Amino acid sequence: MDDQVKFPISVKFEDGTIDTFNNVAELETDLEVFDSDSASDCEVRDASGRRVRLKVGNNLVLEELSLLDSLE
């Protein structure tokens, strides 16, 4: 089973808009500060449709990008 996050990463925001990020550099520059654990109304998925935990810190560096442990 593949346990690696696959790009592109899609972030669906609370207003229904979806942004797609093709690599780490785009996450850090275009998404800026973000924490999927704190953004409860947002949904983050990878290219395979799996839910992802995503955190870009205050210093605009990717701190976490991992698959959520779920039974989806």
User: Tens digit of pLDDT for each residue in 27-70?
Assistant: 999 998 999 999 889 999 999 999 999 999 999 999 999 999 75
**Residue 38 domain-assigned?**
yes
Report the number of distinct structural domains present in the chain: 1
Residues 36 and 53 sit within 8 Å (Cβ to Cβ): yes
Report pLDDT for 2.
73
Rounded to two decimals, what is the model's pTM? 0.87
| Neighbouring C-beta atoms of residue 65, cutoff 10 Å | 19
Is residue 4 situated within a structural domain? no
Tell whether 51 is covered by a domain: yes
| pLDDT the model gives residue 57 | 94
**Domain presence at residue 72:** no
Any domain includes 37 = yes
Does some domain include residue 1? no
**Does 2 reside within a domain?**
no
Q: 40: domain range?
A: 9-67
